Structure formats: structure tokens, C-alpha cells
Chains A and B, each alone.
Chain A
Amino acid sequence: MAGLPQKMNTQAGSVADVSMAEREREIQAIVIGASAGGISALMNLLAPLPETLRIPIVIVLHVAEDKPCRLAEVFSFHIAPQVRFAEDKAFVDVGTVYFASPGYHLSLEKGVSVEKDVSNEKDRSIEKGAAIKKSTWFSLSREEARYFSRPAIDFLFTSAADVYGAALLAVVMTGANEDGAEGLAAVSRAGGVAIVQDPTEAEFNTMPLAALNLCRTARILSLEQIRTLIYRLETLDAG
């Protein structure tokens, strides 16, 4: 794995500006996985977000299963958008930041009764997006822990890739295990945008390195660049 980050680093500067630009409007959901060091990194990442979001953000952050968890509470105190735990069978609400509940795996599910796309001559991609968002829902599960963690980032990412395909942006951040690598590879295979926090700056680099190892097409961005990118994706249509 040595030498890999250096090679990838050469992409970092250009990615956020050029190759993403045409894709940005297609992105209909963001999924983020973080483990050790994740709380402060996520606080930093989400801090600039406005109250109204364009697309949903779903986060798996590894935390202890057996302690009362106040993640949603803590984050909603610090950031502007609505923050909640993703609830079983709830429909994904566009303007919300969701956290996975400890003790359960979180997945995204396609709606069974998808409403037909009403093609709008002005902007079909937006209309299509609206149909996806309306029908997507959360499912919880008590399958075995993965990498000693439940929720698992891999499960969220893989199921999100199935639902959103190319319209998904996935980010693997700081962490001391290998969760998220397989999921990120699935996102990439489905045509989605795979992003890894620069291992040289991540508080714990095991998770970013594992993700890069399994998903060679992932783009490496600094926390600052990811933050700028997510902010831009969320505010595309604003003002």
C-alpha cells in the first residue's frame, strides 16, 4: 500500500473543480462513513451547511452499541440542517442529515410503488431525482456486526449504490478498521462518485487506506476539499 497515497495526491487539486462539475447536479444523495476520529472530522465537515439542503446526507459513525447515544442531539446543536437518527421504514427526507442508530445496520431501500416520472421538458434530471427521493426508505437490521461494528459502513454504502447508482456520492473518512472499503467499491462499480479522505491528514488512516486499496478509482480529497464539495452540492440551486 506504500506509495499509493502519493500517487493519488496528484489528482486531488483538480478533482473538485473540473471533473466533478458536470456530475454535480446528478448527485441525489451523499453517504459518509467514519469511525475513530470521526466526530470532530464530521463536525468540521458539516459545519458550513445551511438550514435547507438540496439532497440528503446519510452517515454511519461507529459508536459503542451499549451506551445511550446522543449523536443526533449533539450534531443538531452544532449544525443548521435538521439532524435525526434514520428510523426503520421512514422515507428519506431530502433536507435532512441522518445518522445510523447504534446496534442496528442501516440500509437504503428502493420503494416498491415508485411513482412514474413526470417528464418535465425543462429539467428532466431534477424530476427524475424527485421520484427517487420520494420512494427511497430506510431499513434497519440486526445482522451480525461487521468489523465489530453495527452499523456497518459497507452495508449502508452497498445498499445506497443499489438505490442511487450513479447519482450517489460516498465518502470514507478517518477510522481504525477496514469497514467502508467494500461499500465504496460497490458505489464506484455502480457509477457513483467515490471519495476518500486523504490518509496523510486523517486522524486514523487505516480506513482511508483500506478503501483506496479496494477502490482504486476513488478520489483523494482533503477534509477541507470534501467540505467545500459537499457544501457546493447542497447549495447548487440556492440563490
Chain B
Amino acid sequence: MRKPEATLDIELPLLMEAIYRKYSYDFRSYSLASQKRRIVHALRQMECTSVSELQARVLHEPEAFHELLQFLTIPTTEMFRDPEYFLALREKVVPLLRTYPSLKIWIAGCSTGEELYAMAILLKEEGLLARTILYATDINPVVLEKARKGIFPLNRMRAYSMNYQAAGGKNSFSDYFTAAYDAAIFDRSLCDNVTFADHSLATDSVFAETHFISCRNVMIYFNHDLQDRALKLFHESLCHRGFLGLGSKENIEFSRWGNLFDAVDKPWRVYRKK
């Protein structure tokens, strides 16, 4: 007799195939362990007794798919997470970005936007924001909308402020937002040159030539094949000697395209196109 886990192993790829064919969202090449955990969690929250039942709902009710999408993507993000990364950007990337008359920067997988606002603040302080076009992309329209609004929980600001200082912040962090009740509303002008867009590293192609791409803790959810695809995409998008920033525990050395990049700052995962 089959164990329940084995049934789930059959159902999981079938669900991902169904989602891809019906909604064009491609989760088929995600790493399985965390995908499985998220689906099991979604089953409880959406009151389905099996993945097959969930699949039937997803196929027949588009709202059910959009609900599931919120479970399938991981929104964990914060401002100036790993301050040393932003410090490395200030010290090793910004001086070279300064040499361009205009800049295009891509925040790939921007989620609810914390990273985007952190980057905009950094660019502003370095005098680069006015000549930069920022692309903030994600596959999840709900988080993109949140990113566009730029309203974050006020109780996180203390931690973000400490990160900001450690990241080489030049002002007072509170200069960038207005507190209203329990919310911090960020300065709209930070987003003057931001284009928010629905973009999938799994199915879409290059849309612009960029000078710097920051894509942190996005590819950790991909398997090797999908990581290969995303890295290839980044390589195509980046201009000659363009920069790529990743999460501090990410690796490109196991990718077939890993050797297309030089490490500028290995500990904090800043790379440069060869």
C-alpha cells in the first residue's frame, strides 16, 4: 500500500502542470521541499483534504488559484537586510555606476518592495536616483501592488533603521517616511522612476539592458535548471561588465552559467558580468 507521502509526490507535479497550462505560472522547476511544505500549508488554509481536490478547485475557480498563489510565493523580506550587502554596493558598485550618464537597475522578485525602497534610498544618497530607471518585477500581482503603495508596518522601522545605519546610511532613516497610526508611508518621490511590472524568471524573457540586477533570495526556491535559466536571463540583460547582487547564502558556482560572472564581493554575493 502506498504511504500518504507518496501520493502527495504524485499529486504535486500534476498540480504544477495544471497551474502552468491553465494560468501560465510556471512552478514546475521549483525546489520541492519548500514547495511541498507550502502546498501542505495551503491545503489546511483552503480547507482541501487532498492536493487533487485543490487541483480541481484551482482549475475550475480562478479565485482559488489567486488564493493559492499567495501561499506559493514566499514574501519574507526586509529593508537593508544584510547591511553589509548594501555597504558592499556603496563601496564597490556605486563608484562604477557613477560613470554612466544614465542607469537601469532591476530588482528581480521585488516582493512587497522593502528591497526596492532600500535601493532607492541608497541611490538617492549616492546622488544617482535622478538618473536611474528602476524596474521592480514579481510574478505575484498582490505583492507588486503593496510594493507600489510603499506602506510598511511602523513596528518594523526600528529594526530597519538599525540596518540602514549599518548599511552606511547618511541621514536619519525617519526622513524617508511619514508615520501614520501603525503604518510608515514612504516618500513617493523615491518611486518617481520606478516601473513595476509582472515578470517571471521562469517564463519571460529580457525586457531591457541593465547595469545592475539585484535578485536576492529568489533563486533559492528554484532547482538547478530554473536557476540556470534565470542566470542566463540576467547575463543577457546586463550590459558589458554589469553587476549582479544575490542573497548572502546563494551560489552560482553550481550553475552552468556561474563562470560567466566574476565575484566582486564574494561574502556578500556581488558579482560582475565577465
Chain A: residues with CB nearer than 8 A to chain B?
Answer: 85, 87-91, 101, 103-105, 107-110, 112, 137, 139-144, 155, 158-159, 161-162, 186, 189-190
Q: Is the beta-carbon distance between A87 and B251 smaller than 8 angstroms?
A: yes
Q: Is the beta-carbon distance between B220 and A189 smaller than 8 angstroms?
A: no
- Measured between beta carbons, the chain B residues less than 8 angstroms from A189 are 3, 5
A228 to B114 Cα, complex, angstroms: 49
A130 to B24 Cα, complex, angstroms: 37
A103 to B249 Cα, complex, angstroms: 10
1/0 per residue B241-260: CB within 8 Å of A? 00000000111001100000
1/0 per residue B122-140: CB within 8 Å of A? 0000000000000000000
Q: Is the beta-carbon distance between A109 and B5 smaller than 8 angstroms?
A: no
B55 within 8 A of A: no
Q: Known: A142-B217, A144-B76. Is A90-B223 also a contact (CB below 8 A)?
A: no
Q: Is the beta-carbon distance between B5 and A162 smaller than 8 angstroms?
A: yes
Interface contacts beyond A88-B251, A109-B32, A162-B5: sample of 7 additional A-B pairs, CB < 8 Å, sorted by A: A85-B249, A112-B223, A112-B224, A139-B31, A139-B221, A141-B220, A142-B74
Min CB distance, A106 to chain B, in Å? 9
The 25 listed contacts between A and B (C-beta, < 8 Å) are A87-B249, A89-B227, A101-B249, A104-B249, A105-B34, A107-B31, A107-B33, A107-B34, A109-B31, A109-B32, A109-B223, A112-B224, A137-B224, A142-B74, A142-B217, A142-B220, A143-B34, A144-B76, A155-B34, A155-B37, A158-B37, A159-B33, A162-B5, A162-B36, A189-B3
Chain B interface helix/strand/loop/mixed: helix
Min CB distance, A11 to chain B, in Å? 25
> Size range of the interface on B?
20 to 34
Min CB distance, B45 to chain A, in Å? 13
Min CB distance, B254 to chain A, in Å? 5
- Measured between beta carbons, the chain A residues less than 8 angstroms from B227 are 89
Q: Is the beta-carbon distance between B225 and A112 smaller than 8 angstroms?
A: yes
A112 to B36 Cα, complex, angstroms: 16
Min CB distance, B216 to chain A, in Å? 10
- Measured between beta carbons, the chain A residues less than 8 angstroms from B36 are 162
- Measured between beta carbons, the chain A residues less than 8 angstroms from B31 are 107, 109, 139, 141
A137 to B225 Cα, complex, angstroms: 13
- Measured between beta carbons, the chain B residues less than 8 angstroms from A88 are 220, 249-251
A140 to B251 Cα, complex, angstroms: 11
Min CB distance, A201 to chain B, in Å? 32
- Measured between beta carbons, the chain A residues less than 8 angstroms from B255 are 89
* 6 shortest interchain CB distances as A-B pairs: A107-B33, A159-B33, A139-B31, A141-B34, A142-B76, A89-B254
- Measured between beta carbons, the chain B residues less than 8 angstroms from A105 are 34
- Measured between beta carbons, the chain A residues less than 8 angstroms from B3 are 189-190
Min CB distance, B167 to chain A, in Å? 15
A186: nearest chain-B partner, CB-CB? B5
1/0 per residue B177-217: CB within 8 Å of A? 00000000000000000000000000000000000000001
- Measured between beta carbons, the chain B residues less than 8 angstroms from A137 are 224, 254
Min CB distance, B268 to chain A, in Å? 13
Min CB distance, B74 to chain A, in Å? 6
